[in-house]
Amino acid sequence: MTWQRFAVLATLVAAAVTAIGCAQQTPAGPRIYVFENGAIRGLDPALFNFTREELKEVDLVNASYLIVHPRGTLMFDAGAIADAHLKDDGSEVTEGVVTASKPLLPQLAAAGYAPRDITYFALSHFHSDHTANANEFASATWIVQKAERDFMFADSPQGIIQPATYAALRNAETKILDNADFDVFGDGSVVVMATPGHTPGHQVVAVKLANRGTVVLGGDLYHYPEERTTGRIPTFEFNAEQSRVSRARIEEYLKTTNGALWIEHDIATHAALPKVPGYVD
């Protein structure tokens, strides 16, 4: 083992020990851990109905989240490149337009959790930049909209989809929602909200935090902040009209709760958030 490798390992172990120490105290209210899952580079802004000049940033980040609640945990999304495809030395791996260097499970471990500890698992939607490690969470209860699940397990689903990355979910314990919201822990503090349009059963998660107030983990309801200000819809929506309705519903919800929207792919939003073992509460 080289000194560099030893130093990296020692840091990881120290971070894990610290995090496990924290996680043993069950928090009084929900907290959100933010995980880094790389970037999407080189997309054509025209895909999103923008010109290059109209966007502040064209590149996107990939993120996923762990919500820890006194009654359990909810993992939301699962990264863009599977941990098994990433390198031990932390160097970048590129698959298509997606690049990543940090595996997800060590980040989860830094929060104090292994996949088998996770109570609930939800995807914002089935696109492959969100599902890479989904199979790891098949022992959790999968929260999914019926229309999304039907699409995912159709005979030969087409589009931005890699069924092998989530195949194990087929037999997971599943909470199927029929275009409905779900109060995950029964106290209204963590609610999965149906927001179809980008895909047949896209969903976001609203979290009521003691310090930050209401936060909506927005999945791909938007990709760029400029979509929010202009009302433009990407070219590759499953149903653009549904997207408009879902966006209007969440904007209204944010207004009434004075909530913040975290656009999952937005570089600036992501950069401003603490990363594991830090958290937001």
129 is an interface residue for Zn ion by CB under 5 A:
yes
By CB under 5 A, which span of 49-57, 138-146, 187-195, 218-226 interacts with Zn ion? 218-226
Tell me whether residue 97 or residue 254 sits nearer to Zn ion (CB atom): 97
As measured in angstroms, the least distance from the Cβ of 27 to Zn ion is: 29
Confirm or reject binding of residue 36 to Zn ion (CB under 5 A). no
86 token code pair? 């990433």
Site for Zn ion in 156-215 (CB under 5 A): none
CA distance 205 to 74: 10
129 or 227: CB nearest Zn ion? 129
Question: Considering only 15-23, 72-80, 110-118, 120-128, which stretch makes contact with Zn ion by CB under 5 A?
Answer: 120-128
- Provide, rounded to whole angstroms, the least separation between the CB of residue 127 and Zn ion: 5
Nearer to Zn ion (CB atom), residue 19 or residue 98: 98
Nearer to Zn ion, 110 or 194 (CB): 194
Structure tokens at 214: 């209401």
**Nearer to Zn ion (CB atom), residue 68 or residue 78:** 78
Reduce the secondary structure of the chain to three states and give it as a string.
Answer: CCHHHHHHHHHHHHHHHHHHHHHCCCCCCCEEEEEEEEEECCCCHHHHCCCHHHCCCCCEEEEEEEEEECCEEEEECCCCCCHHHCCCCCCCEEECCEEECCCHHHHHHHCCCCHHHCCEEECCCCCCCCCCCHHHHCCCEEEEEHHHHHHHCCCCCCCCCCHHHCHHHHHCCEEEECCCCEECCCCCCEEEEECCCCCCCCEEEEEEECCCEEEEECCCCCCCHHHHHHCCCCCCCCCHHHHHHHHHHHHHHHHHHCCEEECCCCHHHHHCCCCCCCCEC
- Nearest distance in Å: CB 153, Zn ion: 20
Q: Does 148 bind Zn ion (CB under 5 A)?
A: no
To the nearest whole angstrom, how small is the minimum distance from the Cβ of residue 125 to Zn ion? 7
CA–centroid distance for 71 within its chain: 20
Site residues for Zn ion, 64-83, by CB under 5 A, read none
| Token output for 69 | 């609640």
Rounded Cα distance, 45 and 68, in Å: 35
Q: State the nearest-atom distance from the C-beta of 183 to Zn ion, in Å.
A: 25
**Interface segment toward Zn ion; rule CB under 5 A; list 126-134, 148-156, 176-184, 234-242:** 126-134
Which residue number, 77 or 136, has a Cβ lying nearer to Zn ion? 77
Residue 78 or 280 having the CB closest to Zn ion? 78
Establish if 220 lies at the interface with Zn ion (CB under 5 A).
yes
CB of 188 to Zn ion, least distance (A): 28
Instruction: Please report how close the Cβ of residue 154 comes to Zn ion at its closest, in angstroms.
Output: 20
Interface contacts to Zn ion, rule CB under 5 A: 127, 129, 220
